[in-house]
Amino acid sequence: MDDNLRQLLAQIDPVPAHVAVDDASSSRARTLLEEIMSTPINTTTAKDAGPGRAQDGQRRVPMLIGGVAAAAIAAVAVVVLVVGDDDAPASRQTLAIDAPGTTISSCLPFDVNVLAEMPVAFAGTVTEMSDTTVTVEVDRWYRASTGETDLVDVTLPEENTSAALDGVDFATGQRYLLTATDGTVNGCGFSGPATSELESAFDSAFPE
Amino acid sequence: MISGEGRPEDARERFERVTRTLYEPLQRFARRRTTGEVVDDVVAETLLVLWRRLDEVVEGDELAWCYGVARRVLANHHRSAARARRLVDRLSSATSASAAVDATGRDGDEVRTALATLSSKDRQVLMLWAWEGLEPRDIAVVLDVSPNAAAIRLHRSKQRLRRQLDRRKSWSDAGQPTVGHPEN
């Protein structure tokens, strides 16, 4: 059963074994390796911090290059639906963003067909920002399996706010196109500032 | 500071030996997750970190250790200003991605979509398992978690993928479209 699942995933491997990559004995590789081996060795810094099985029985604290701790943020999806007149409080729901180390290393190539499968997709403008939360006022719901609320609060990772949106920080007054699965905003190009390219992709994926 | 030339000969020998076997898989790892010149940057930066910290890497763990570094290098690139341009690159690659779906046929299309709609944590562990061919022990090195935690994470991610695939199969058997459904 495991073999079957592995086989299914292997067939969508974008770089399977039969696709040639640069050989370690190529002149390009040799130049790179020689250059590296002639590089001065600095004292270990956080910049170099790598993973590894701890050799002293204790697990090292994971470090990202740049010193950002890889803290995954649990997805929280709280939906509060309030239907009423204009005086009623705005309805809102909460989404989370994964820490960057998780998001980028699991990206698949952008595909409108995949975008079309996202259970939550909307457009909106950032109206409020704090250290922990960004509030988005929704102007269009493309798909709303968790309900069409007026506002969406996006809970940010503790030490980094930008990775899930392709390195673009949230900014008040900026309009974004966002998708989410299981209460977590999807990165990998499936969410981002509302450029004409992304909007056109959303229009294709979610025809009215 | 110690100069590179000043490293003991056995360090150079070990570096040369391990890069002979991990240079190709490391390129595949990067190409599966990013595009263009970033692939070369990820490979070069990862090997540089390996060279600098070779003494700390357990014999036999080098490849998984490098995957873990590459993962962080990717995250670093992700935060850079160039990412705005990368988004456009990804969008413009939509055509070739669609062509790949056609070439792999219906199953590939379904699997790709099922995988893409899982959480990034699930995707990450499944990609390491299926594409890099890692077992929980090595996945643990990449993710810097205990082998037990890696095994549990992999087990749960497989379950969620199977559920997604079964769901899609039942929709398909019922003649329902696979687009436009709520996730939960």
Least CB–CB distance from B144: residue in A62, A107, A109: A62
- Condensed to tens digits (0 to 9), the pLDDT of residues A5-30 reads 999 999 889 899 889 999 999 999 99
Q: Using one digit for the tens of pLDDT, what is the confidence trace for A154-168? A: 888 765 545 445 555
Angle at B25 between CA B20 and CA B31, to 5 degrees: 130
As a whole number of angstroms, the distance between CA A143 and CA A119 comes to 6
DSSP secondary structure code for residue A61 in this structure: P
Tell whether the model's pLDDT for residue B22 goes beyond 60: yes
Interface test with B, best of A104, A115, A165, A176 (most B CBs within 10 A): A104
- Whether chain B has a CB inside 8 Å of the CB on A74: the answer is no
Tell me the average pLDDT across A101-106: 57
| Residues in chain B within 8 Å Cβ distance of A52 | 56-58, 61, 65, 68, 141, 144
B91 interface with A at CB cutoff 8 Å: yes
Instruction: Evaluate if residue B58 carries a pLDDT over 80.
Output: yes
B83 contacts A168? CB cut-off 8 A: yes
List strand residue ranges (DSSP E) for chain A, in order: 79-80, 92-96, 120-129, 133-144, 151-155, 175-181, 184-185, 192-193
Query: Cβ of B171 under 8 Å from any chain A Cβ?
Result: no
